[in-house]
Amino acid sequence: MASTVKNLFHDNKRPTAAPVKGDDQSQKGENQEKIIMTTEDEILTADDDFDFVSHYGDTVEEQGDDLLPDNTAGSAISCGFIGVGGGGGKMAKAFIDVGFNKSVLVNTTEKDQPNGVDANHFLLIPGADGVGKDVVLGQKVLTENSTVVEDALKNRIGNIDWLFVLAGGGGGTGSACTALHGSFERYMKSSGAAGNVVYIVSAPSAQELLNPTIKKNYKALVKDIADHPHIILDNERQLQLLRGKVGVLNMFPLANKSFAKMLAQVFRLAGASSPIQAFDTKDLERCLREPGRIFLGTTVVTDPTTTGLGSKIYQQSIKNSPCPTPPNSVSVGSLLLCVTEEMASDPAISNHMESAVAYVGGRSDALFSGIYIRNGLPGLVAIVLLGGLN
């Protein structure tokens, strides 16, 4: 309580805690004086005048043994991840690997559990050994066990502001994940969350979409999440970006981890200071909160002195993105630029960066931008984040 009261007085004092006067614990009369704190040149005393302070102290909450460790990844927002189904679980593992320990993998079968994931992160839904790509059965199983999932979120993830739901489109369990939306909302409301539920869904590859069941399941999931903030990861685009670089065994794990690192970098930069221009927490939340699809892409410009930097950044970010191409006009956009100190000191490059910000801003109703100094970069690193896409 002494530290709380300290804020009511001068900050330039050096307080030291003092014990209650009198060694006799039985002396608790109304006139007994209590010394709250002392400084070098004054003594502050209080009785019932300051008894209100105790009512505004930090609340101590009991937390169960199942609570997962805190996230070690730096982030401007308090967030957790839940992977539903086989594909969603594999994406969730990628976020665990980059430091988001507040992640739970939910599945109707333990056979899809990724290797290297601690059992504390895994929740097996009882009563079904998979659902055989049957979305109707998946919705039934998840609905019947929604309380189990909700309890796992409360007991394992705890209090967060933003929940990211990861699912593979095309399967029966992942494509049924919106059956749990009511549970997600109740969990968020019960923990006093200030953010939203955001879906991250992988689209099947062109080869997979030849299967009518997979195509039907994916379309059903996209329709269900259309009005919620969501990110679509196009597996066909990811295969094209990685084909020839890695074997089939490591292709999707690398794709998942690369995306997790990119999103984590956005979260980290939103919490970082900048001597030039900062993309802050509220800017990030505005982009994430906008209903509709979210686009995320990145590129590296090795020669930032080039003319037409804005167009190059925008087009290369779209080309290199795992997300489907965004429309020409979007609701909200952001451009994050990471440059070396030498680049930031170059007047010509500074002019190009201003043009790049203006270029992206001309394609969105609202624009947020941030420019950060990071030495040792291979070039100018740009991240484009667009929200509210139809």
Is residue 192 over pLDDT 80? yes
- Whether residue 369 lies inside any domain: the answer is yes
pLDDT band at residue 206 using 50, 70 and 90 as cut-offs: very high
Is residue 43 over pLDDT 90? no
- 10 Å CB burial of residue 48 (0-12, 13-18, 19+) is exposed
- 10 Å CB burial of residue 165 (0-12, 13-18, 19+) is buried
What are 390's two structure tokens?
């139809």
Residues 210 and 328 in one domain: no
The pLDDT value given to residue 214: 96
Residues 109 and 139 in one domain: yes
Residues 326 and 237 in one domain: no
- Whether residue 246 lies inside any domain: the answer is yes
Residues 39 and 93 in one domain: no
Q: How many residues does the chain have?
A: 390
Place of tokens 């209100």: 52
Is residue 90 over pLDDT 90? yes
What are the φ and ψ backbone dihedral angles of 130, each rounded to 5 degrees? 85, 170
Place of tokens 């100018």: 380
**How far apart (Å, rounded) are the C-alpha atoms in residues 58 and 145?**
35
Running DSSP on this structure, what letter comes out for residue 382? E
The pLDDT value given to residue 52: 60
Place of tokens 């109740």: 186
- Whether residue 61 lies inside any domain: the answer is no
Which among 198, 231, 265 is the end of a domain?
265
pLDDT in tens, 58-88: 544 444 578 999 999 999 999 999 999 999 9
**Domain holding 315: CATH number?**
3.30.1330.20
Domain count, the chain: 3
**How far apart (Å, rounded) are the C-alpha atoms in residues 308 and 314?**
10
Helix axis angle, 248-270 relative to 281-289, nearest 10°? 130
The pLDDT value given to residue 31: 45
**Domain holding 125: CATH number?**
3.40.50.1440
Q: For 145-154, what is the mean pLDDT?
A: 96
Angle at 86 between CA 81 and CA 87, to 5 degrees: 70
**How far apart (Å, rounded) are the C-alpha atoms in residues 183 and 180?**
5
Residues 103 and 191 in one domain: yes
- Whether residue 208 lies inside any domain: the answer is yes
What is the residue range of 18's domain?
Answer: 2-56
- Whether residue 271 lies inside any domain: the answer is no
Residues 260 and 286 in one domain: no
- Per cent of the chain over pLDDT 70 is 83
Residues 286 and 251 in one domain: no
Q: For 146-155, what is the mean pLDDT?
A: 96
- Whether residue 63 lies inside any domain: the answer is no
State the pTM of this model. Answer: 0.83
Residues 218 and 330 in one domain: no
Residues 99 and 128 in one domain: yes
Residues 303 and 339 in one domain: yes
pLDDT in tens, 284-313: 999 999 999 999 999 999 999 988 999 999
Residues 291 and 226 in one domain: no
Angle at 198 between CA 285 and CA 204, to 5 degrees: 135
Which among 238, 265, 292 is the end of a domain?
265
Across all residues in the chain, what is the average pLDDT? 86
pLDDT in tens, 254-280: 999 999 999 999 999 999 999 999 999
β-partners of residue 46 are: 34
Locate the DSSP E strands across 145-235.
Answer: 162-168, 197-203, 230-234
Residues 107 and 43 in one domain: no
Is the separation of the CB atoms in 332 and 366 below 8 Å?
yes
Q: Is the sign of the CA dihedral 183, 185, 188, 191 positive or negative? A: negative
- Whether residue 70 lies inside any domain: the answer is no
- Whether residue 68 lies inside any domain: the answer is no
